[in-house]
Structure 1
Amino acid sequence: LTEDLLVEVDPVAVSGPGTTYYVSATLGSDAKDGLSEATAFETLSRVNALSLGPGDRVLFRSGDVWYGMLWPKGSGTGGQPIVIGSYGGSVKPVIDGDGYQASLLILDDDYYEISDLELTNEASHLDGSGQPKVEVGFGGPENNEGSGEDVRFGLKVVAATRSLSGFEFSRLDIHDIYPTPASSNVALKHQGYGIKYESQSDLSVGNIFTISSVLMDDLLVSRTGHYGVWVRPLGLSGVDTYKHDDFTLRNSRFLDTGGAGFVIVKASNVLVENNVFDGTGSHLDSRMWQRGSGLWPFDSKDVVIQSNILRNARGPLDSYGVHIDYNNEDVLVQYNYSYNNEGGFAQILGANENCGYRYNVSVNDGYRVDGIDGAVQDGRIFNVSNFCSSGGGCSSTGNFLYNNTVYVPNTFSPDIVFKAGSGETLFHNNLIVVEAGSDVLQTDIASSGVTYDIERNLFYPASLFSLASALTTDALYVDPKLRLPGADDPTMYKLLLSSPARFAGAFVPAGRDYFGLLVESGVRPHIGAYNGNQVLGPIDVPVLAPLWRWLMVVVVVGATGLVSMRLGWVGGVAPGSTVGRILKSDRRRL
């Protein structure tokens, strides 16, 4: 008896017959062949002189440090990329750009997999004799003559003479990226970027170049003068036909970037998921731009931004968890946790088509006050604008804001603003709770140049909202009975079983809620970002005083009839000092 066994696997890059080169700053020598750990090369210059091909690998010794610009030459293929990484330990090798324009440059080459490196670049752009540090062959006005004086990068990918494809960057630590402009040009001090993807097209001579198929995974980008990662084509302004394509950013952290963490300009098919953006628009260093949302797309298409944590954005303008800039099409912001962002939670600018936010949780967003610390706009929970490149503004079609849960503390009072001329906006099933003792939350809902579809939003308590009449359509003003409003924990914004927001929403298309739970078609959804069956808790139990404790009973009924039950407690001597224990857990099928 014989059987044929068919096993399907995802396609992966296959190492070919390429050559592996080893590089050690402490044990190597450029007089050696570089073909083993014992005969490793020593310098970046020796690596930069190689002509690499498909399947080749360049490995840097763990813990060693190099100064200068790594500029590998040559391209791989889809099945045999060029690999750059490390060997000999877990400590990442360091490439200190030392004032060159980039720590790592890829120019007109493609199909690279680069991982396990640390990149930094803030030293002077001048050498010991006072001359700019430049690499021969990288220059021209479009590249700032190759100098790091006025602009600086950790990693730069440039398509100057052809389109490029096939990049995978993983486990890179990129930090402290700042240029060193002259005192007469100090306004450029913020132009330090973690990663930039730049194409240099010239429509006048028919040169159209793009970058495609890029995966960024498990990056750490911190302390940059401006953006963490920037996707930007040059020479294609006003042309919608050509875009960078197929970019994925996942499982990465952006900490204290001077501008936004990720800026997506003129790109299509972009996925941003499972990342943490914390401290964008940072004021940590005087060289920083000091303004920026967690991320934002501009003039882009088919963008999904989901399951990210967006915290502590700062700045006098923008500086939302995510904002949708203008000229976009089909941008979906879903399943994100937005916390303590100065500008606010959700912003949609003009000339957009089918863009919006659904099933997100926002806590403590929008504390900015116009006129304070240079701010030119109050914080806003929701801001729908007609802003675009046209002085008269641009309307949008298909804006949507639905099933978002928003909590506002009593320490500030952000606005809700839908501007005149902003076009179409659907506003359904949003749950907004303001803490007692807050100032009244103001709303500015224009009536000209707009079309609204507004219903089944919950505002609590009603006394803390000054609602424009358009927002009152079929609205609710009851306590939604959240688990623990005010907590910095999205699970505490689930609805209790007794919540009047359960099964009270308007019908909208959605497959899952913030927590991954099913939103069934034909069944009226809950209001807010949670669509499950949380039964109880946490519930305060005074009998346990003077200790601060809760009992927690959780009963969840699954779609298949499986019932999960858990009884436990959390407690401590004061709020914020907690311990816990599961007392009983069981599962039964109905």
Structure 2
Amino acid sequence: MKPITGVLVTAALAGALIPAAAHADVARAYYVDCSGSGGDGTQAAPYSSLAQVNALTLAPGDQVLFKRGAACSGGLRPSGSGTAAAPVRIGAYGTGTARPVINGGGAVYAGVHLYNVQHYTVSGLEITNKGATAAERNGLLVEIADIGVGRGYLIDDVLVHDVNGGDTKASNGIQIRVSGTTTPTRFDGVVVRNSEIHAVDREGLTTGSSWNCRAIYGCTAPENWTASTNVVFQGNKVHDIAGDGIVMRVADGAIVEHNEVYEVAVRSPGNNAGLWTIDSDGTVIQFNEVHHVRRMPGTNDGTAFDSDYGNRGVVFQYNYSHHNEGGFMLFCGACGGSASSTGTIVRYNLSVDDGSRILYAVGEKAAQIYNNVFVLGASSTTAIIQDGSGSTFTTWTNNVIHNLGTGGYTGGSDHTWRANTFYGSHPASEPADPAKSTADPLLTDGYRLAAGSPARGTGATVPGNGGRDYYGGPVPAVCAPDRGLHQASAFDDATCARPNLAANGDFETGTPAGWSAGAKLSVTAAAAHSGVYGLRGGPAPASAEQTVTLRPNTTYVLSGWGRVSASGTELVIGVKGYGGAEVRAPGFTTTAWASGSVTFTTGASNTSGRIYCYTRAGGGDGYCDDVVVREV
């Protein structure tokens, strides 16, 4: 199962970096073959070495084109910049599909090194940089130092492989790096897309900055945090990486989407994860697939995702995680001394058969984890929460935890639980949840909710929920959502926004207040569909009734949830005395919760009606909860 394709939010940014045409009156194309000798850079007599290209000062709109199938040894480090309207383009020419190869051979710090240049597009290249022994080195490095702002970089359809950089995080397949110490510097406008990185030690695709100091990062020196903006990593494949797959550092509003990361953390003895962010604000990590991340012996991480220390307001959404040895998610706000992290949101993700733990909790001030599906098979020992150092204040809402294994929960009071489904195994450490469901959520193909699922319409509302589910369907802002990653139920927020005219319709007062109830009726936790309490009535006949205030000539919907304790028993909800014939929803006759509703219109002079929950037949009990009367 692949991540679900969504709207590409970066089209406008990427398009802004690629002009329709360069300025033909000043721009020049330089051709490079790297076979033969000499040449003046024309297509008829191409350059034969990277040294010839490096000696140029490129102008806006210039192109450096490498012959397809050619192999150039050494490093490409061009001089001169483009403009927003006319970037410098480095790419390929010729027939066929073979890429031109730039082979650093371990003799250069980076196979391609864009240093203190701006407005560049690099596409269609193959880059390697493998030496006889491991040392700090990179495949493609975009670096700026002490220039203030570097703008306009597009890396598209580039293949980077075989970079033996040892076990240092300064060695990368592709890195977007800010260095220097004298002038605060950042990037504005970087897109790395549709590229592949593999066989690299230690890091895959990352950003980095020397301008990273702020208190939330645990830095006690004078603050100099200077975040890069408009950074996008999109549609890349990163695999066979010694350490981390994709890392976003010191960024504000970055987007990491539609990437596949797998078989990473396979050689480094350090702590590594698949896709993560640190010391950043507002990073959105979405529509990615991360799988088969290793957790090497003696290490802590190995998770698909990580919100590390120094983050504020990071969002992980619509991602697919599976078979990662270290688990699904790491919160590591307390991993950096006095550092912290706050406001992390994890929503509408799917985790299947991840190892070790679903959440490794090592510090977070105010996280939300909602509307995710976590699936663990019968042989799983994966913990749902493994508590580490520091406090991890997290609210779990509307999640479906489909756990057939033996893993449990730690963390205690740091975690708040609202309307989650706990299905399968129930360890002693399973947390209390006032609206807990342990019923089978009836997950179907793609972990959607089947018809009749008790997870439908029983979630708790979450403000600012992103507006869509894992599959791209809308989710309610006002109506009660479905639990899990799939919003199967239809909803009308405009209707739900109207007040419920039934008093104590959810029975959460713990009493039948507002209802006329006889001796055969009681409010009890055993009858709760959601929340803590519901109404139990039986044996038949047993009826609870309530008069509601209505408006003449107005249409209303009466809805509610019901079930019975035994076969042969029937429970109904209905309304009478409103100026029309008495109407009832279809009777509830099964032991599973189901919803029912009726629509009615008041008479010309009627200002009230009588609603009821009525166990009308059988020797068992009827259970009624979440009764709602709303104007249409």
1:235 CA drift (Å): 4.9
Give 2:429's aligned residue: 467
Q: For residues 241-270 of structure 1, give each alpha carbon's deviation from its aligned partner in whole angstroms, at most 9, with x where no partner exists.
A: 411222101111011111111111211121
Rounded Cα–Cα distance in structure 2 between residues aligned with 1:236 and 1:331: 17
Matched, 1:123 2:131: yes
Q: Which one of the candidate residues 110, 125, 146 is aligned to 1:161?
A: 146
Deviation for aligned residue 1:421 = 4.6
Give the CA deviation at 1:66.
0.9
Aligned residue for 2:282, secondary structure, equals strand
Whether 1:352 aligns to 2:306 is no
- Cα deviation for residue 441 of structure 1 reads 1.9
**Equivalent in 418, 428, 452 of residue 455 of structure 1:** 418
Call closer, same or farther: CA 1:189–1:304 in 2, change over 3 Å: closer
Distance (whole Å) between structure 2 residues aligned to residue 122 and residue 191 of structure 1: 15
| Aligned partners of 1:178 and 1:191 also within 8 Å | no
Residue 190 of structure 1 contacts residue 289 of structure 1 at CA under 8 Å; is this kept in 2? no
Matched, 1:98 2:105: yes
More displaced 10-residue stretch of structure 1: 234-243 or 85-94: 234-243
Of 377, 395, 405 in structure 2, the residue corresponding to residue 426 of structure 1 is 395
> 1:274 aligns to what?
258
Letter in 2 for 1:152: R
Of residues 72, 82, 86 in structure 2, which corresponds to 1:76?
A: 82
Rounded to whole Å, the distance in 2 between the matches of 1:434 and 1:200 is 46
CA distance in 2, matches of 1:466, 1:91: 59
Equivalent of 1:494 in 448, 454, 460: 448
The equivalent of 2:163 in structure 1 is 177
User: One-letter code of the match for 1:479?
Assistant: D
**Contact 1:348–1:356 (CA under 8 A) maintained in structure 2:** no
Q: CA deviation at 1:413?
A: 1.4
1:313 to 249, 268, 293: 293
Tell me the CA shift for residue 271 of structure 1. 0.3
- Pick closer, same or farther for the CA change 1:307–1:188 going to 2, 3 Å: closer
Q: Of 333, 347, 369, which aligns to 1:401?
A: 369
* Alignment partner of 1:532 is 2:488: yes
Q: Which moved more, 1:65-74 or 1:314-323?
A: 314-323
Q: 1:502 to 1:224 in 2, by over 3 A?
A: same
TM-aligned CA distance change 1:118 to 1:291, over 3 Å: farther
| Alignment deviations for residues 13-71 of structure 1 (CA, whole Å, 9 cap, x no partner) | 24123100111123x542x3212x21211111111111101000000000111111111
Paired residues of 2:185 and 2:211 also in contact (CA < 8 A) = no
Q: What TM-score does the superposition give when structure 1 sets the normalisation length?
A: 0.73
1:186-232 CA deviation, whole Å, 9 max, x = no partner? x7488641012222232xxx421222210011010111111101211
Mapped partners of 2:179, 2:170: distance in 1 = 19
The aligned counterpart of 1:381 is 358
1:22 to 2:31 alignment: yes
- Measure, in 2, the Cα distance between the counterparts of 1:357 and 1:240: 29
CA 240–160 in structure 1, closer or farther in 2 if over 3 Å, else same: closer
2:180 to 171, 178, 201: 201
Letter in 2 for 1:363: V
Aligned with residue 113 of structure 1, among 111, 121, 128: 121
The alpha-carbon deviation at position 410 of structure 1 amounts to: 2.1
Which residue identity lines up with residue 345 of structure 1 in the other structure?
Answer: F
Structure 1 contact 311–339 (Cα < 8 Å) conserved: yes
Q: Is the 8 A contact 1:255 1:278 kept in 2?
A: yes
Please give the alpha-carbon distance, in whole angstroms, between the structure 2 residues aligned to 1:421 and 1:240: 26
Residue by residue, what CA displacement relative to the aligned partner does 1:332-386 show, whole Å, maximum 9, x if unpaired? 00000001011111222221121120000000112xxxxxxxxxxxx11123322
Q: Is the 8 A contact 1:360 1:405 kept in 2?
A: yes
Kept after mapping to 2: 8 A contact 1:221/1:254: yes
Identity %: 30
Residue 474 of structure 2 corresponds to which residue in structure 1? 518
- Aligned partners of 2:389, 2:84: CA distance in 1, in Å? 49
What is the count of residue pairs matched by the alignment?
Answer: 451
Amino acid at match of 2:301: D
RMSD value over aligned CA atoms? 2.2
* Partner AA of 1:229 in structure 2: L
Structure 1 counterpart of 2:76, one-letter code: L
Amino acid at match of 1:506: A
Normalized against structure 2, the TM-score is what? Answer: 0.68
Letter in 2 for 1:381: I
- CA deviation vs aligned residue, 1:401-460 (integer Å, no higher than 9, x gap): 00000100122211113557525321101101123xx3x22211233xx4x442111111
8 A contact 1:311–1:341 mirrored in 2: yes
SS of residue in 2 equivalent to 1:214: strand
1:443 matched to 2:409? The reply is yes
Measured against aligned partners, the alpha-carbon deviations of 1:473-532 in whole angstroms (never above 9, x if no partner) come to: 321111111115xxxxxx2x1111121111111111320010111102222111111112
Q: 2:476 and 2:169 mapped to 1: Cα distance?
A: 48
Return the offset for 1:86.
0.1
Structure 2: 5+ residue runs without aligned partners? 1-11, 214-218, 334-339, 491-632
